[in-house]
Chain A
Amino acid sequence: MRCMQCDVDLPDSYHVCPLCGEAVSDTPNQLPIEEAPYPDVTQSVEADVPAAYPNKHVLRVIAVLCAVFLLIGQSTLWTLFTPILLGLCALFYFVCALFEKGKLLRSGVCLLSTVAVALVLQVFGLLLRLPMLGISLAAAGCIAVFVLLCLLFPARMRAQLQATFHA
């Protein structure tokens, strides 16, 4: 096959010249070259790249905030509040991820790791005899942020959550 407009050889399977879009002519090729076809796709499949996951950064921010509140807090009350609040926060994550079946394991890991962070902070606080109010405030703040994010962007939060624990 040849395109007479462009004066080029084309594979036998082509009906239209890819350069100019004109119909091809059934003339023998000048060069003895065999076709090496590409897969027949015209739309790129969605990339293997997971979406961005600011949640990882959000978790870092939580940790920093907790540390700050831990240092400046005043009260020694509500010792048990921190893990419970942080746990609730993680639970919200968990419920968020439940929308998507098959992601349970990742969500479980998320839940456990967040509770673990809370416990570590708790132990840290007890060892240093630092007041717990700061942590509780931080936790409450985090929950507020997460609830807000999840309510504002349910689909995006879900996608980011999956991406966070993308294998």
Chain B
Amino acid sequence: MQKYSIFNLIKNAFSGHQKWDLAWKDATPKKKYDVVIIGGGGHGLATAYYLAKEHNITNVAIIEKGWLGGGNMGRNTTIIRSNYMHDDNALFSEFGMDLWRKMSQDLNYNVMFSPRGIINLAHSDAQMNVFARRGNSMRLNGIDAVLLNREEVKEIIPMADFSDNVRFPIFGGLMQPSAGTARHDAVAWGYARQADSMGVDIIQNCEVTGFDVVGGKIQGVRTSRGDIKVKKIGLCVAGSTNILAEKLNMTIPVETHLLQACVTEPVKPVLDSVVTFGAGHFYISQSDKGEMVMGGDLDGYNSYAQRGNLPTLQHVLTEGIAMMPFLSKLKMLRTWGGIMDMSMDGSPIIDKTHIEGLYLNCGWCYGGFKATPASGWTFAHTIAQDRVHKLNEGYSLSRFNTGHLLDEKGLGTKTWIS
């Protein structure tokens, strides 16, 4: 593989940048693989990369029905954080933070990881108490957390509404300074390029249509481009998990819902951290291009539409304008939506299943982008060793049966509310 470096950049300038190697080849499906990963989003690509890198399993195919990174991987708002209270979520995410910090070097690809910090705003004394508790839990797990008072928040985001006469005054906030953002497409491309270079076949425009299961064991997978024999399958299809689960006669603790996001026209740098509103569901950051990147609630009813509906957007932006009134002056540039695998306790599933050779990775809800490296790493381990790693022990499928839920927000099983 051609290394991306300043020297190669200069060298290739002499040939007008026409002679760069392709970042990955367009593979056609072989008849047989050791492992097939379904879904060419972040999690599928990262899983294949760590299978090859950490476990020397390279006879692997990633099967993607559309184009690489065209699902939620290319639709998210790129927030990366580990500000969780529960140990399982905190330790898993913080392991991921470490991988994020090394990612550009590790992949030889600039993923533009930008640890600009995230601030969760509090609008009451009670919320400040809850944040103090969460912050302390984070620090006990070695994660950086700072409780900010009103004045300290004002110093960081003076453009927020600090007037006396607001419905949800800002009391303070909980900040994780090491949190941030990265360029989502670059993460997908970086993993794809490295996985390909180690021998992984990336097969796009190929839809998985069924499975060969004999005697409770995976024997193969059926695709729109032919049948493939394989003994181990990793399912990483995010918002399509329910559809493929049905083909496996499984019903899973996940519902499919639509989440929207939007960006404004680009403006000069004004906001250098990620901020979430505490009295509703709204969050904002500013992209390197200057666009204000915003999102919030689900559309609120089961959906596979991959495009959103206006009432939710209006509701979310009303919260945004309450928090930062200057936003009302900006023009909206684009809105879009992605279909989300919403689990019943808000936490993901990375586990084996009752079918031998079938491994499940789903339930990412609002937070699967940041989980990309840790999810790929632990899922690769689970597939390669046929047992879960300590880091994803808590993300079991059986926890719903045994009552060991990971309900970070304490919201219960109405996925469209959480």
Task: Answer yes or no: are A and B bound together in one complex.
Answer: no
B interface vs A, CB < 8 Å? none
